[in-house]
Structure 1
Amino acid sequence: MPRFMDIHHGRKAITAEQLREAHQADLAIESDEGVHFEHLWADPDSGEVFCLSQAPSADAVRRVHDRAGHSADEIHPVPLSA
């Protein structure tokens, strides 16, 4: 299944608890769109949050994040990794 990295901007001062809550909101509905969120990273200083997922499409990733209440600002395919 294709992998995607999405980015959320403007989350300055995000806490570990807020990150976990956002991730749980995604996990609760990810199967509705055939998405699996693998891992999240956040930088509270810059306000950037990064999510790695497996999904049938970028649109499926977008729909999950939209429904969970934290829309992605960017979604990029990850065709290669090492």
Structure 2
Amino acid sequence: MTQFMDVHHGMNGITADQLQQAHQADLDIEKDEGVHFKRAWADPESGTVYCLSEAPSAEAVQRVHERAGHRADEVHEVPLSI
């Protein structure tokens, strides 16, 4: 499966608990789209959140995020990693 990194902006002040809740919302429905969210990171000061996933497509990643209530501003395919 292909890896994707997505980015959410405007989440200023996000706490670790809020990040965990958002990530769990994705995990709860990810199988519906054949997606697996591997990890999430956040910078509360800039309001930026990053999510790493494996998925069949960027559209599948976005559908999960939309259903979970936090649409991604960007979804990038990650074709190379080490």
TM-score, normalised to structure 2's length? 0.99
RMSD: 0.3
Amino acid at match of 1:16: A
Give runs of aligned pairs for residues 35-74 of structure 1, distance below 5 A. 35-74=35-74
Identity of aligned residues (%): 70
- Structure 1: distance between partners of 2:51 and 2:38: 8
| Structure 1 residues without counterparts, runs of 5 or longer | none
TM-score, normalised to structure 1's length? 0.99
Aligned length: 82
Amino acid at match of 2:11: R
- Structure 1: distance between partners of 2:36 and 2:81: 17
Deviation at residue 31 of structure 1 after TM alignment? 0.1
Q: Which structure 1 residue ranges, 4+ long, deviate > 2 Å from structure 2?
A: none
